[in-house]
């Protein structure tokens, strides 16, 4: 992406596509319209402080003084873990790094995590235990161009990252694009006319599907046994674990016909360039780590990872989802993917920071239990939020809001008054993407530069300046630079020798490489040329071998719904149905929608949440296309317009997660998580769907919208 002055004057700059290996000059709607946000009338340009229940403008000195004095008092009264930090996967590497350092050194708290926990955590956990390393794609995106077979599980890239579609063209032309999704999404539509196949399993049965594919590979003699012998451990246990998942049993659980299952396994095995890619649809479950592990097991049995022209990877969801988790925002990690519980890792980072290793806190807790501690006795009394909108993105949103309101201090750094910022005691206006220098790390481990295109509005500061100022007011040890190049240099030193080693990189080197058309993929230790492709010779475990980790589906007890809520849900004439709710994204919106809902072109295209359901399901409810419906369970209720489509299963309803108030889908999701990754269950929630007009014999729950 390049920025030039906008001759029409509708925005400070104009966005133009730029030739680049990953997107080849293409952008999605969100990218093309991103400059409009820079001139948003809702832009914050002065700090806000809550007095007498209302937010009022304040000076920077007053705002920071109030934050520092409150933090100091809370820490003195209840200890450092009474203060928490919540970060974001959209922060630059420099800001993510300094935020993690600020939490551990300036605040002394273990209570830090970030919204990437809702995105990449299951894939990361699976990658770490199988390969010993977590990098979304262990190969450049452009490697997909030569594939003739791609199995894409739980990712609607046509809506979430359209420029990636060009890299799927080869597989489509060869008839080898296989998409697994309960919906016939825009990406699944690409398999039509002989371009591939769409597998539409029941929600939450992806793990069973993958076990069934591995069973067929082994039973039909399709496994690469030379690869397994030379490069993996654990095959015998893996073979025993998939033996019970014969095709007929898998068909009964998933709804995928036996013939389709066998054909898919054989296609994967005979491909002349085969890739298995996973996304959030199979990972945002309480067994998401096991499901991602099953996908890795399948890839290993086929001999794909590290083989030229083949591989396994996972697709990152946020702008800096990869880099954001590498350098200290996760509750158990220090910069460079070092483990905070490892004495050697603690000592290495503490030496860079100039502090005693024993002064660093231990591991904290993941995002969902962290949010559950807010305002609780003996829990968290103060929360600093950077780059996240937890009111919309966190599961069980009513509980999240209650926790935020119970805090003694909530500080939110943002450039608009997001739903979370609206609850804050102090709001700090910060720079946007076009107004700051820094680096990002892409899903393929490529470290790229973000260049400042225009100055921020007067009164706006970078998080680097804010953290440095607060560190000084708290009399924190160590150095607190505000120049992104200097922060990156410190990050590079702190990562040296770690899994995500950036020690050979600098802003100057990245600028020079960009000018020369050279990519920089981590690990990039000093003196190296980087690592565009992992696993060519060995995996990251000490013995160089990958781990085959047997996994099995757990018994999933459907959530009990309150009797008054359900009534005779499936009875004739009740006009209500018990369905499985799945959540996801729209092409026009991004994450919690705090940015995209403020761009006119995007909101005009998708102004509100719509509940996708099958026409046959709608007919049983007496609902026509566009009618308002209520989607509810014991946690809350959502009102949305019905969107009738045959692209969805009869037993499911789909809602996007970009909207707020009565359209916030996370009012319905539960704060239950994967025990390994901490990932919430976003893709399988039991709900009752009812027409909004006449619900329980009453008038519409939203009269204005019904009348409209």
Q: What is the share, in percent, of the chain residues with pLDDT greater than 90?
A: 78
Q: Let me know if residue 147 belongs to a domain.
A: yes
If asked whether residues 245 and 360 sit together in one domain, one would say no
If asked whether residues 53 and 171 sit together in one domain, one would say no
Segment 597-614 shows an average pLDDT of 83
Q: Let me know if residue 438 belongs to a domain.
A: yes
CATH number of the domain enclosing 311:
3.40.228.10
- What local confidence, expressed as pLDDT, does residue 607 receive? 79
Q: Let me know if residue 376 belongs to a domain.
A: yes
- Our count of domains for the chain comes to 4
Q: Let me know if residue 526 belongs to a domain.
A: no
Q: Let me know if residue 288 belongs to a domain.
A: yes
Q: Let me know if residue 222 belongs to a domain.
A: yes
- What local confidence, expressed as pLDDT, does residue 564 receive? 43
Are 447 and 510 within 8 A, CB to CB? yes
Q: Let me know if residue 350 belongs to a domain.
A: yes
If asked whether residues 230 and 252 sit together in one domain, one would say yes
If asked whether residues 246 and 287 sit together in one domain, one would say yes
If asked whether residues 632 and 693 sit together in one domain, one would say yes
Segment 464-470 shows an average pLDDT of 98
Lowest-pLDDT choice from 96-100, 301-305, 615-619, 702-706: 702-706
In 607-666, DSSP assigns E strands to 610-613, 628-632, 637-644, 652-656
In this structure, the dihedral spanned by the alpha carbons of residues 214, 219, 225 and 229, taken in order and rounded to 10 degrees, is 70
| Residue 445 pLDDT greater than 90, yes or no | yes
pTM of structure: 0.93
Instruction: Give φ, ψ of 249 to 5 degrees.
Output: -65, -40
If asked whether residues 305 and 380 sit together in one domain, one would say no
pLDDT in tens, 234-279: 999 999 999 999 999 999 999 999 999 999 999 999 988 999 999 9
Lowest-pLDDT choice from 483-497, 570-584, 686-700: 686-700
Are 428 and 63 within 8 A, CB to CB? yes
Q: Let me know if residue 461 belongs to a domain.
A: yes
If asked whether residues 336 and 419 sit together in one domain, one would say yes
In this structure, the dihedral spanned by the alpha carbons of residues 559, 560, 564 and 567, taken in order and rounded to 10 degrees, is 90
pLDDT-derived band of residue 13, with 50, 70 and 90 as boundaries?
A: confident
If asked whether residues 272 and 238 sit together in one domain, one would say yes
Domain that holds residue 661: 563-707
Lowest-pLDDT choice from 206-220, 345-359, 653-667: 653-667
Which of 296, 315, 334 is where one domain is finished? 315
CATH number of the domain enclosing 342:
3.40.50.740
Cβ neighbours for 155, distance < 8 A, ≥ 6 positions apart: 181, 187, 277, 278, 279, 280, 281, 315
If asked whether residues 443 and 349 sit together in one domain, one would say yes
Which of 263, 284, 315 is where one domain is finished? 315
If asked whether residues 217 and 277 sit together in one domain, one would say yes
Length of the chain: 708
Segment 508-533 shows an average pLDDT of 93
87/564: higher pLDDT: 87
CATH number of the domain enclosing 567:
2.40.40.20
Q: Is the dihedral of CA 529, 534, 538, 543 positive or negative?
A: positive
- What local confidence, expressed as pLDDT, does residue 11 receive? 64
If asked whether residues 287 and 344 sit together in one domain, one would say no
| Residue 695 pLDDT greater than 70, yes or no | no
If asked whether residues 24 and 60 sit together in one domain, one would say no
Are 218 and 224 within 8 A, CB to CB? no
């Amino acid at each position: 992406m390049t920025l030039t002055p906008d001759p029409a004057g509708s925005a400070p700059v104009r966005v133009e596509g730029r030739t680049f290996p990953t997107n080849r000059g293409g952008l999605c709607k969100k990218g093309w319209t991103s400059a409009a946000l820079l001139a948003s009338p809702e832009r914050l340009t002065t700090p806000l402080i809550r007095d007498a229940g209302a937010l009022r403008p304040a000076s920077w000195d007053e705002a920071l003084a109030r934050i520092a004095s409150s933090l100091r008092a809370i820490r003195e009264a209840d200890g450092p873990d009474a203060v928490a930090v919540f970060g974001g996967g959209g922060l630059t590497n420099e800001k993510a790094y300094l935020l993690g350092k600020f939490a551990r050194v300036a605040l002394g708290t273990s209570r830090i995590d970030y919204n990437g926990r809702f995105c990449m955590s299951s894939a990361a956990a699976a990658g770490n235990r199988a390969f010993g390393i977590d990098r979304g794609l262990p190969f450049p995106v452009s490697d997909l161009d030569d594939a003739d077979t791609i199995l894409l599980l739980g990712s609607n890239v046509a809506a979430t990252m359209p420029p990636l579609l060009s890299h799927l063209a080869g597989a489509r032309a060869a008839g080898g694009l296989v998409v697994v999704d309960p919906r016939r999404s825009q990406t699944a539509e690409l398999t039509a006319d002989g371009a591939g196949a769409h597998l539409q399993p029941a929600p939450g049965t992806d793990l069973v599907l993958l076990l069934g594919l591995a069973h067929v590979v082994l039973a039909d003699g399709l496994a690469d046994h030379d690869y397994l012998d030379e490069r993996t451990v654990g095959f015998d246990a893996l073979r025993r674990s998939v033996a019970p998942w014969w095709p007929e049993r898998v068909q009964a659980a998933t709804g995928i016909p036996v013939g389709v299952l066998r054909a898919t396994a054989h296609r994967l095995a005979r491909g002349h360039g085969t890739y298995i890619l996973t996304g959030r649809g199979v990972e945002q479950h309480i067994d998401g780590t096991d499901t991602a592990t099953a996908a890795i097991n399948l890839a290993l049995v086929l001999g794909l990872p590290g083989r030229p022209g083949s591989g396994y990877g996972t697709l990152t969801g946020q702008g800096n989802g990869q880099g954001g988790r590498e350098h200290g925002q996760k509750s158990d990690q220090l910069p460079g993917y070092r483990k905070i519980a490892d004495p050697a890792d603690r000592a290495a980072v503490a030496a860079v920071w100039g502090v005693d290793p024993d002064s660093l806190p231990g591991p904290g807790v993941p995002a969902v239990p962290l949010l559950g501690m807010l305002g609780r006795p003996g829990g968290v009394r103060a929360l600093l939020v950077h780059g996240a909108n937890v009111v919309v993105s966190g599961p069980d949103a009513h509980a999240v809001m209650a926790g935020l309101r119970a805090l003694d201090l909530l500080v939110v750094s943002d450039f608009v008054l997001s739903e979370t910022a609206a609850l804050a005691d102090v709001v700090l206006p910060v720079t946007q993407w076009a107004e700051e220098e820094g680096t990002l790390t892409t899903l393929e481990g490529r470290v790229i530069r973000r260049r400042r295109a225009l100055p921020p509005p007067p009164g706006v500061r970078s998080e680097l300046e804010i953290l440095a100022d607060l560190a000084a007011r708290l009399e924190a040890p160590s150095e607190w630079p505000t120049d992104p190049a200097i922060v990156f240099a410190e990050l590079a030193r702190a990562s040296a020798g770690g899994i995500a080693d950036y020690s050979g990189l600098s802003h100057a080197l990245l600028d020079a490489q960009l000018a020369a058309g050279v990519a920089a993929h981590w690990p990039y230790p000093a003196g190296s040329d980087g690592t565009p492709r992992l696993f060519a010779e060995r995996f990251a475990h000490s013995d160089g071998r990958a781990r085959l980790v047997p996994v099995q589906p757990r018994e999933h007890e459907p959530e009990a719904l309150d009797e008054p809520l359900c009534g005779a849900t499936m009875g004739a004439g009740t006009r209500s149905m018990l369905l499985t709710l799945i959540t996801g994204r729209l092409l026009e919106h991004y994450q919690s929608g705090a940015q995209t809902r403020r761009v006119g072109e995007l909101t005009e295209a998708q102004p509100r949440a719509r509940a996708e359901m099958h026409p046959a399901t709608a007919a049983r409810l007496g609902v026509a296309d566009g009618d308002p419906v209520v989607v509810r369970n014991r946690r809350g209720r959502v009102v949305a317009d019905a969107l009738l489509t045959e692209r969805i299963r009869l037993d499911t309803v789909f809602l996007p997660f970009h909207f707020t108030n009565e359209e916030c889908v996370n009012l319905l999701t539960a704060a239950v998580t994967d025990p390994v990754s901490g990932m919430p269950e976003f893709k399988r929630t039991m709900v009752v769907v009812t027409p909004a007009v006449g619900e329980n014999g009453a008038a519409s729950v939203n009269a204005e919208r019904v009348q409209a």
